[in-house]
A and B are shown apart, each in its own frame.
Chain A
Amino acid sequence: MLAGVRRVEHIMGFPISVDLRDGDERSHDAVEGAFAWLREVDARFSPFREDSEVARLSRAELEPADLSDELAHVIDLCDFYEESTGGAFTSWLPGRGFDPCAIVKGWAVQGAAEMLHDAGARRFCVNAGGDVVTFGESEPGVPWRVGVRHPERADQLCVVLELRDGAAATSASYERGDHIIDGRTGEPARGLLSITVVAKDLTTADAAATAAYAMGVEGIAWAAAQPGCEVFAVDSQRRVFRTPGLPVAA
């Protein structure tokens, strides 16, 4: 029996770590494939690479018929969350063009995790710059324990979640400053210190967390109303609001 696999690579500007607890040679080989997929996503969907599909779309060099299936899907997701948040979440910003990073990250990492699952892996965890997707359990009968970083203290946790086949994503400004813009005002979103969304998949969790953060305080209730989403939020007055169904570790 093979031992587990741990790998970290820095792609898209943040570290992505894979913690594979089971599997055979085939699923271990799939770890390579998963990282290759993430590098491909970076090349194709980064707004910062001049030759990427996203940069070309920004420059209006792509016709609708030229869009790849993957980019069309990403645009659909962006549109869905923009409409659902009344424009608070937006992937088109003045002066920045089309920037779907907030959607691409969760979607791409979820895809990488599904590649591992398709190759036979059943117990693994992928952490992409603080967004976490889990499959199965860490040990038989033991859920994955995922800590949520305290919004003001980098070395502390504010809650520990237990995940089985679930994902958790956190949006906050403590790491990269006021980088999430409320599309309704054009100003940085400041109503929340951080918001964590737990969902079945990371595509949903990451998109909902980012969209809710852009909305500010009202984003808490919005995220809580998203199908299958559980929420843990800290507002600017350091009050915590969470949904009753949040899988908090005892």
Chain B
Amino acid sequence: MRSKIRWILLAVLAAAFVGAGLSRISFNVEILKMLPTHLPQVEGLSLFLKHFAQPNELIVTVECASPEAADAAAEALAAHFGTRPDLVKRAVARAPWEKNPADIAELFAFMLLNQPPEKVREIVAGLGPDKAAATLQASIEKLTESISPQEVALLSYDPFNLAGAMSTSGLMSGTQQSEFSSADGTFRVVYLESAKPFANYKENIAWLQSIRGAAADVKLPAGVTLGFTGEPAFVADISGSMEWDMQSSGFVTLVIIALVFWLCYRRARPLMQLQGMLLLIFTLTLATAGLFLSELTVIGVGCAAIMIGLSVDYGYFVYQRSLGHTGSVRELQKECFQNIAWTATSTAAVFFALNLSSLPGLSQLGNLVGIGVVIGAIVMLTVFAPLTMRFRRSAAPHHESVIERLFASPRFLNAGAWFTLALVVVLVGALFILGVPQVDFSARTLRPRKSDAYTALERLQARLIDDRNVLSLIVSGKDEAETLTRLQAAEGELAAAKKRGEVKGFRTALPVWPVGENQRTNLPLLSPLATDLPRLKQAVLDAGFKDEAFALTDAILRQWSAWSTDAPPIWPTNETSRWILRRVASRNPDQVLAMGMVQPIAGHEDAVTAAVQRPGAWLVSWGQLGRELKRVIPQEFVRVIATLGAIYLVIVGIGFRNVRAVALFVVTTSLVLVCLAGAMSLLGMTWNFFNLAALLLLLGTGTDYSILLLLALQRNGGDAPAAQRELGLVICLCVLSASAGFGTISWANNVGLANLGQTCALGLLIDALISLFLLPRAWTLLHPKRMPL
């Protein structure tokens, strides 16, 4: 009775723990969260994504053979979403200033307010009673002489030539790249802002589905193709595929484990119990992760399958031991404890040691798998072991499985050794001939394999705005003044880089950045001008202009007057201004950021980036990130692997207390890594951020096989065939399960995660073959008289 209450209490506590943990699980789709935050590219790109990526702005692309149909479709979509305030706060199919031209006056007034005081004094003088007529006459002359359509159109609505005071360089000058339509009009874009910010990725996915559904309801001209991209589409795509990858890889791993177990033992009840244990371990690990770790990144998602693949090893070991066990449960637990504690400790230690890395993604991977391994060992020893004993007592005597019979056959062991030797020769030869696998740190490995959002983005880049070779300038400061100083310094560097031939062109937020000092000086000069409006209007009419020619001047002068009591720095606030500034300026209570675009000359990206790089200023792109990772990550991995290798050697040294065993372990592990590199070269695989992590996983998992074999040789007095017989089945089960775990993520939607799965599965198979067939043979060759280790 007491035992029952204890179990019920334990179950309730476990349920509460699991409930609390799972409810806190959240995904972070930002790939940068996995990379070292101290890297300038990571730092700059993180700021870019946080402040300028527009998390609530969906980009709907409209493509059609006819410009008229594309225009009609874009307008229809914007009109339809304009009637759905439950979904969309703002639907924009053309620039806001096209809808409300008068709105532009605010931004215009703001930009003039930022001009140097001497220029503003000139403006004020030009508007004075004695100069106004001459200013207007000069404009009329320009209207007569100019061949520039821009100048003619502008001057006819700006008769006092206020725009003449503004700098023509920078953000707004030159040919305007439309963010709404391709040059031929057959590709249009509609921007949809969500009605409210998304609380989590599930809300984001649901919103996108609603938008797709609502768009399908709009009657569009025939032949129109819609695409959905932008931050909400990426979040929905990536988090959706992460969720799916996690669930599907975990599920498929469980199925494969069940098949392997069934083929070896042909027993249903222990199979069900083992599956139950794995689910329990997975749930407890995920709940622990939810409670103690921050958001799961894409690399953490892959751990579900890996954890199951590793934890099942302990289950196999316990079950295999239980088949021949005649003592009590406690004795079985004691018997298994040494081996499981040994491998679990070493595996967990290696994974937890990943915290030594400066890569947050690797640390998370290490923590997740480490927690999973520890929980797995505890569950298998405390829950599964008693179950196997209970089952064993009621089951028929154990019959040898096919694998056990094979490992009992000297012919099979010989054939296995020759096959593995041949494989090693081929792989080492491949490495020698083809060289080490190439390194690929491009953004390709960081993105999903299939993504509608990426497809739409590629169309957008091909048809509208190709920013693939553009570097983004991010400038940050504690306030507008600090950001301005840094922005000016960055502009200076960019201008110098342009002179050196490193930059084709650049545009920064400088022309639309508030200059507090100028605003303070200019405002008292400009705000009283509103009192002169009647006189100025009369002067305009007298010069031959119509009423409408004065509208812009009128609006600007009134705006200055409206700002007269505001404290600098003053920002424009109407819809048009906000639309224009949303991609170039971002303000928070403790940080003010500006953005710019730089077109580098190919081959000079590093030089320009280095020239601009300084505290608070970054020149970033995904391409530059790849280059930076290529420089930094291999060194980082070498450091981490060397540290882990040293830790492993110490653990193995203490465990074996035998130099030859340690030497054999080192040679085996090295040979596995060499063969893996050869296999990767042969298969045309490349090293990237993700599958470099696979090396660490191999250190943590694959080495268990050689350790177990060496321990078995120790137990069997150096009798290699006996050791192979003892561990053949368990290692086969382990490698099949672990490879299944990794194998299932080979099909993950994330390219990098899939590469990690492929590399690990390949590495584990090689490791198992070498450990099972060559390691005992090598020992026998070295010690023909069966010397005990």
* A joins B in a complex: no
> Which residues of A does B touch, CB under 8 Å?
none
> Which residues of B does A touch, CB under 8 Å?
none
